[in-house]
Chain A
């Protein structure tokens, strides 16, 4: 059973860089059928997709964050990471990593964000 686990500092100072890692256990991060995503949710608010990375290293980011975000993959350690620079209080949120899995079978095409980590709270404050 594949599991994801976020880790990183729970408190980051304004203007600094938020850095989180998602460790993948129970399966390999390296497959053309996966994309690895970061999603966040400020307290009491909705969900925001931050971006994704493939095991090849290819990335896509939300334009609202693109100038500040970098997502990278480390296949040797079966993990991927999020860096968000120049943070402000508006970046305070629960951050999740999630797997997008797509494949074909006899029932057709399947594509879903099927596995999520438990989430980690990041507070931006001096």
Chain B
């Protein structure tokens, strides 16, 4: 099983800041099968990025994804108030598909 580790666990930031969220995999992940999700309380995860760097439909271009093999990054170029949430990474190239533990982005 591929274990995903996200750091940090929590980030306290202000609107307008740039943020880079990290996800590290215990084994190499094929780039076509790596995604990022945003989750707000009481809601389902919302797909942001798939295939490492492809933005999902309707996702603003302030969100971008990068990385390869075992190191992946979600970057938010300028935090908007609606971006304060929990972010999860996911690999779905090797079964069982796994998620990271999440990074919470909250208000400073």
Contact = CB atoms under 8 A, between A and B. Distances in A.
A11 interface: no
Given A46-B101, A109-B32, A111-B32, A63 B44 contact: no
Given A109-B32, A113-B35, A113-B92, A47 B99 contact: yes
Interface stretch (B19-27, B47-55, B68-76): B47-55
A112 B35 contact: yes
Contact of A49 (B46, B54, B96, B102): B96
Contacts of A83: none
A110 B100 contact: no
B97 A49 contact: yes
B12 interface: no
Contacts of B100: 46
B50 A46 contact: no
B54 to A, nearest CB: 7
Interface string B45-65: 111001100101100000000
B7 interface: no
B44 A111 contact: no
Interface of B: 1, 32-33, 35, 44-47, 50-51, 54, 56-57, 88, 90, 92, 95-102
Given A46-B99, A62-B95, A114-B47, 5 more contacts: A46-B101, A47-B99, A111-B92, A112-B35, A113-B35
12 contacts: A46-B101, A47-B45, A48-B99, A96-B45, A110-B51, A111-B50, A111-B92, A112-B56, A114-B57, A116-B44, A116-B46, A116-B47
